[in-house]
Amino acid sequence: MPYPTDYKYTKEHEWIKADGKNATIGITAYAQESLGDIVFVELPKIGSEITAGKSFGTVESVKAVSDLYAPASGTVTEVNGELATAPEKVNQDAHSAWMIKITLKNPGELSSLLSAADYEKFIAEEAGH
C-alpha cells in the first residue's frame, strides 16, 4: 500500500498534509487495519487548540478505543462531518478520509515527523514483532 509522499507521518500512525499555513490530518491505512471496523470518531470542535503529541480525539472500533495524537500544534478550522454518519470511510480509504483541518501554529514541527519512506520502514519493523 503506497503511502502518499506529500504527507508526513507520526509513530502513532497519524498523517498530516501541510499546505502553507494550513494542514489536514487523518490516520494511516496501517492504523485503520489494526483497529478493524471503525464505528465512531470523536473529533474536537472548530476553534479548539490542539498541541503536538497530545490527544485531540479518539477513534473507536467495537472493542477498543484509541487516542488520536496531534502531529502538530494549531487551531481547528474544519471538521469532517461525513465521519459522524459514515465512520467506515476511514476503513475504506484512510488517506483521503481526513479528520480535521488546522492552521499551523509552528510549521517547523513538521520537520521532525517521518517521511513516507521512513514511515513504511517503521511499520515494517513493528509488524515484524
Partner 1 sequence: MRYLPKSPADREALLKAIGARSIDDLFAPIPAEYRLQRDLKVPRQMAESEIVDWYRERSRENGDGYATFLGAGAYYHYRPVIIDALISRGEFLTAYTPYQAEISQGTLQSIFEFQTMICELTGMEVANASMYDGSTAAAEGVMMAVRLTGRHSAAVARSVHPEYREVLATYASHQGMPLSSVGFGDNGRLDLKALEKAITADTACVLIQSPNFFGTIEDVAAIAEIAHRSGALLVVSIAEAVSLGIVEPPRQSDVVTMEAQSFGVPLGFGGPYCGVIATREQFVRQMPGRLVGQTTDKSGKRGFVLTLATREQHIRREKATSNICTNQALVALMANIFMTIYGKIGLRELARQNLAKTAYAAEHFNKHARVLFSGAPRFNEFVVQTSEDPYAINARLLGHKIVGGLPMKKFYPELGNAALWCCTEMTTRTAIDTAVAMVAESERSLLAGKEPETEGVAR
Partner 2 sequence: MKHMTRKATRHVSQNEGLIFEKSSPGKAAWKLAPLDVPEVDAAKLLGSAARKDLGHMPEVSEIEIIRHFTRLSTWNYAIDLGMYPLGSCTMKYNPRVNEVVSRLEGLANGHPYQPEKISQGALRIIKTLSDCLTEITGMDAITLQPAAGAHGELTGLLITRAYHQSKGNPRKKVLIPDSAHGTNPATAAMVGYSVENLKSNPQGMVDVAALAAQMDEDVAALMLTNPNTLGVFEQEIHKIAEIMHAKGGLLYMDGANMNALVGKVRPGDFGVDVMHLNLHKTFSTPHGGGGPGSGPVAVKQVLEPFLPKPVVITKPDGTLAFEYNRPMSVGRVRTFYGNFGMFVRALAYILANGPDGLRQTTEDAVLNANYIRKGLEGVYDLPYSTPTMHEVVFSDKLQQKKGVKTGDIAKRLIDYGFHPYTVSFPLIVHGALMIEPTESESKEEMDLFVEAMKSIAEEVQEDPQMVLDAPHSTRVSRLDETTAARKPVLRWKPGA
Query: Which residues bind to partner 2, rule: CB under 8 A?
Result: 37, 39-40, 60-63, 87-88
Quick one: what does residue 37 bind among partner 2, partner 1, none, with the CB cut-off 5 to 8 Å set by partner type?
partner 2
Quick one: what does residue 126 bind among partner 1, partner 2, none, with the CB cut-off 5 to 8 Å set by partner type?
none
Cell of 85: 454518519
* 55-61: strand order across its sheet: 38-42, 55-61, 65-69
Quick one: what does residue 46 bind among partner 2, partner 1, none, with the CB cut-off 5 to 8 Å set by partner type?
none
Give the start-end residues of each E strand in the chain: 8-9, 14-19, 22-27, 38-42, 49-50, 55-61, 65-69, 74-79, 100-104
How far apart are CB 39 and partner 2 at their closest, in Å? 4
Nearer to partner 1, 39 or 124 (CB): 39
